[in-house]
A and B are shown apart, each in its own frame.
Chain A
Amino acid sequence: MVTRPRQNLEDYAVILSDKDNVATALVDLPAGDYMLGSGSDQPAITVPEDIKGGFKLALSDIDKGGPIYKYGYLIGLATEDIAKGNCVHVHNLISSV
């Protein structure tokens, strides 16, 4: 079996602020293990399912009711526990307005 060289998440997605707990996929992001930043040999983040370009994924585990940040600001609250690497969208994120 040929193992795919481990890739950096930021080749596929952008993290717009240090405060953010989601990244936005810039292109279609295939399921798999990704490094966050450089240096580490271990998978920093496991993405269980393909994520379409434009969609968000959790950079850390987020508890139900927890704040979700993008651009460094609150974009809403988690409606269920969200595991790191999972897609974050209307099925698990609700406006706080």
Chain B
Amino acid sequence: MSTIKLKGYRRSNSLFGIRNHVVVMSTVSCANSVVEQIGKVDADSIAITHQHGCTHMGADTEQVLRTLSGTCDNANVGGILLVGLGCETANVDEIASRIDHSGKMVETLVIQEIGDLRRIMDVAHESLRRIKQFVSKQRRSDFDISSLTVGLECGGSDPFSGITANPAVGFVSDRLVELGATVILSEIPEMIGAEAPMESRIPDNAVKQKLLARIRDYVQMAKDAGGDLRGCNPAPGNIKAGLSTIEEKSLGCIIKGGHSDINEFVEYAGRPKCEGLVVMDTPGNDPESVTGMVAGGANLVLFTTGVGTPVGNPVAPVVKISSNTRMYQHMSDFIDIDAGKIIAGARIETVADEMFEFLLDVCNGTRTATEVNNCREFAVNRIGPAL
């Protein structure tokens, strides 16, 4: 089998980052303002804030911890400053203990321990100076593309998504799988009605049953919420573009996964154990879904859109692919690849080749539109209420 070598930052024997980000991570929403101020003063670092970290229960606590630590654990991150309040569930020590420190520097800061803001800023500044010195000494080395994990997402879909952009992504996905990489297909509600073409590609019966049960859960959740999926998925913008039902949207959505077998069903923000194509349990909400895949290790995300969206991620480049040329021209600086030219006669394989080459370039350092525009959405999927 032919292989492709890329340049990346070694974190452990099998994991390489295609970026070397320094992250300032808030561990609880109470620390958000402080984290934002640190991020403003230190433009080289990426400040990540969110609405979680405390007063959640059981599986939710585990999911929040997994997402926050998984984001820091992503191979694209070379240095982390964890900023906590001091009394929260998702405390800095708990999160630091879940991060594989190989090839990374992790420091912590607890607001209640330091006290006043001026000293907090001084301590943060010192920490970040050490971390940046550490990451600046790291050099890119060769790694095989099989170490790469790629997430797949579609957001703001239109009827062209399933005809142009998603089939092109499907070709790229199959090619990555052939090369031994890991590809994550996500968005369980957008598999409702598309069970039949997926089932036949899941060799392991336990994986198949878990996925089918989770799809049924989402139908039930929608019914329990007092209605059904109509009116919320497809979203109003999907319907305005011509998508009529969730089945139609789903059948177009899953084409991103190409024709490969599905080897694993991974929990939200969990790290896949299998290579090849896997499915992650994420909602259809784009920022939450992308955040889950990146926390699960995705180095890069291929994201198709019909009506256009800026959504990116703090630590993983998101390659934005338009399904139609009209939107591409309208929102050109948000889009990397226009698959709409398939409508005008370009072959799907040609666009897939262009996308694959661009993916390799992005791995080697080319910045995507989301990176250039600082689109850094971070949203944790929650299971239950806060107390």
Same complex origin of A and B: yes
Residues of B193-226 whose CB lies within 8 A of A:
193-194, 196-197, 219
Residue with the greatest number of chain A CB neighbours at <10 A, chosen from B193, B194, B239: B193
The answer on a CB contact under 8 Å between B244 and A88 is: yes
The stretch among B69-77, B85-93, B124-132, B247-255 that forms the contact with chain A is: B247-255
- With beta carbons under 8 angstroms apart, the residue of B162, B197, B230, B343 that contacts A95 is B230
**CB contact between A89 and one of B197, B242, B247, B251 (< 8 Å): that residue:** B242
Please state if A74 and B160 are interface contacts (CB–CB under 8 Å).
no
By beta carbon, the residue of chain A nearest B248 is A75
Please judge, given known A-B contacts A14-B163, A24-B159, whether A96 and B247 are in contact too, CB under 8 Å.
Answer: yes
Q: How many residues of A contact B (CB 8 A)?
A: 24
Q: Contact flags (1/0) for A68-84 with B, using CB distance below 8 Å?
A: 00110111100000000
Cross-chain contact of A71 among B192, B242, B245, B252 (Cβ < 8 A): B252
Q: Does A27 contact B (CB under 8 A)?
A: yes
Report whether A55 and B245 are in contact in the complex, using a CB–CB cutoff of 8 Å.
Answer: no
Does the CB pair B242–A55 fall under 8 Å?
A: yes
Minimum Cβ distance to chain B for residue A25 (Å): 8
Residues of B within 8 A of A97 (CB): 192-193, 219, 228-229, 245-247
What is the interface of chain B mostly: helix, strand, loop, or mixed?
loop
Interface residues of B in 221-271 (CB under 8 A from A): 228-230, 239, 241-242, 244-248, 251-252
Give the 3 A-B residue pairs with the shortest CB-CB distance, closest first: A54-B242, A54-B159, A95-B245
22 contacts between A and B (CB under 8 A): A14-B163, A24-B159, A26-B160, A27-B343, A53-B324, A54-B241, A56-B159, A71-B251, A73-B196, A73-B247, A75-B193, A75-B247, A76-B244, A76-B247, A89-B244, A90-B239, A93-B245, A94-B245, A95-B246, A97-B192, A97-B193, A97-B247
Q: Which residues of B line the A interface, CB within 8 A? A: 158-160, 162-163, 192-194, 196-197, 219, 228-230, 239, 241-242, 244-248, 251-252, 324, 343
